[in-house]
Amino acid sequence: MTALLALLALLPALLVLTAPDARAADGDPAVSLSKKEAGKGGEITVSGSGWRPDALLMLLICGRSTPERGVIGGTNSCANADGRAVTTDKKGAFRKKLPVSEPPQPCPCVVHVATVTGEQAVFDAEFTVAGHPTADLPRQSGDGRLAVLATARLEGDSSLLTWFGAPPARKLVFTVGNPGSAPLQDPVFEIGTAHGVYAPQWEERQWRGTVAPGGKARIELPVELSAGAHGDYQVSLRYGDKVLAEQPWGVARPWGVTLFWVLLCLVVPAAVFRIGMAIVDKVRPRPAGAHRMRRTAGLPDATSADPTDANTTTAVLPWFTPDSAPSENRPPPTTKGQA
């Protein structure tokens, strides 16, 4: 009896320890590799745990990267063509095979795993591509911080094609300053576009240039929405983990698309109706003899007409009236000079 009571007391604790989502919800994202080194053309297995359930992840092999400093230069340093996508299970775990390819930048390299949608989560696992060149990482430029000196704004106008559903495009213009003691070269920003209550979708934008210590620079980054987008959007600018600016963007509805569908709904039924009426007129039955009567209507009967009869001649030649028809008893016309 005492053993049974003790088992009942421990049962809630055992249920908590064996709950499938308890560990995934509280743990940090983690990634493990089946091999730490492999050559081009090989394959490794990437496993992960502690991620958000049902999250879409992106797997890439990136050069010029370390777990401490991350991917320098953004995804431009990664082998994007050979990347893979995977969705985590209900426990926040995944397992995916990744082909080994050479990144465009020299090693040190990492396997870069990041979420595609929703809350941002990133993990870099150290990896070596055998036979790939190796180079020292660029010297870290100060603390890598940038400050926005002026309010960001969206510049540009919509074209006629946008009125017919083309992707709306603008330029996000802002001025940044470098408060550090070292120059910042080719910084990589992230542009996020959010619509309604949805989380922003982030895309990397690299700016080519150098911001000197204590200096400032005017930066223009392209922003583009999907085709047919309309409504209220929020454009965000992020550098590193810090959001530098946010700008609202009201996109007008593409009324040209609506006009096109309205015209289509009017023209197509009218064309179908006319084709249908032509078919009905072609195949409908006609009374017996109607075709022959139509051909002979208005023509005289050649068998009963007497060519010597003046009345018949007048009937055959309708452009002569009875008064103007030629007659034998009518005197000949007078000539010039005769009364």
What's 78's DSSP letter? B
Q: Is the pLDDT of residue 290 over 60?
A: no
Q: Which residues contact 171 (CB under 8 A, 6 or more apart)?
A: 154, 155, 156, 220, 221, 222, 223
Q: Name the 3-class secondary structure at 327.
A: coil
pLDDT tens digits for range 298-310: 555 544 445 455 4
Q: What distance in Å separates the CA atoms of residue 313 and residue 319, rounded to the nearest whole number? A: 11
Q: What pLDDT, on the 0 to 100 scale, is given for residue 161?
A: 83
pLDDT tens digits for range 231-260: 899 999 988 778 888 889 988 888 888 888
Q: Number of H helices and number of E strands within the chain?
A: 6, 20
pLDDT tens digits for range 152-190: 899 988 888 888 888 899 999 999 888 877 788 888 898
- Neighbouring-strand partners of residue 154: 172
Q: What pLDDT, on the 0 to 100 scale, is given for residue 180?
A: 76
Q: Which residues contact 256 (CB under 8 A, 6 or more apart)?
A: 163, 164, 165
Q: Name the 3-class secondary structure at 279.
A: helix
Least confident of 13-22, 150-159, 293-302: 13-22
Most confident of 20-24, 170-174, 211-215: 170-174
- Residue with structure tokens 């055998």? 130
- Neighbouring-strand partners of residue 111: 61, 125
* pTM of the model as a whole: 0.51
- Residue with structure tokens 């979420």? 115
Q: What pLDDT, on the 0 to 100 scale, is given for residue 68?
A: 87
- Neighbouring-strand partners of residue 113: 59, 123
Least confident of 84-93, 203-212, 304-313, 321-330: 304-313
**What percent of the chain is modeled with pLDDT above 70?**
75
Q: What distance in Å separates the CA atoms of residue 49 and residue 56, rounded to the nearest whole number? A: 13
pLDDT tens digits for range 34-55: 999 999 999 999 999 999 999 9
- Residue with structure tokens 């022959």? 292
> What six digits make up the tokens of 201?
């979708």
Q: What pLDDT, on the 0 to 100 scale, is given for residue 284?
A: 82
Q: Is the pLDDT of residue 58 over 70?
A: yes
* Helical segments of 90-133, H only: none
Q: What pLDDT, on the 0 to 100 scale, is given for residue 165?
A: 82
Q: For residue 139, which of 69, 76, 213, 217 has the smallest C-alpha distance? A: 69
Check: CB of residue 43 under 8 Å from CB of residue 99: yes
* Helical segments of 83-188, H only: 160-163
Mean pLDDT, rounded, for 286-302? 57
Q: What distance in Å separates the CA atoms of residue 43 and residue 261, rounded to the nearest whole number? A: 50
Q: What distance in Å separates the CA atoms of residue 137 and residue 144, rounded to the nearest whole number? A: 15
Q: What pLDDT, on the 0 to 100 scale, is given for residue 110?
A: 95
Check: CB of residue 40 under 8 Å from CB of residue 131: yes
Q: Is the pLDDT of residue 23 over 50?
A: no
- pLDDT category, 10, cuts 50, 70, 90? very low
- The number of residues making up the chain comes to 339
Q: Name the 3-class secondary structure at 143.
A: coil
Q: What distance in Å separates the CA atoms of residue 131 and residue 39, rounded to the nearest whole number? A: 7
Query: Which amino acid would we find at residue 97?
Result: K
pLDDT tens digits for range 76-112: 889 999 999 999 999 999 999 999 999 999 999 999 9
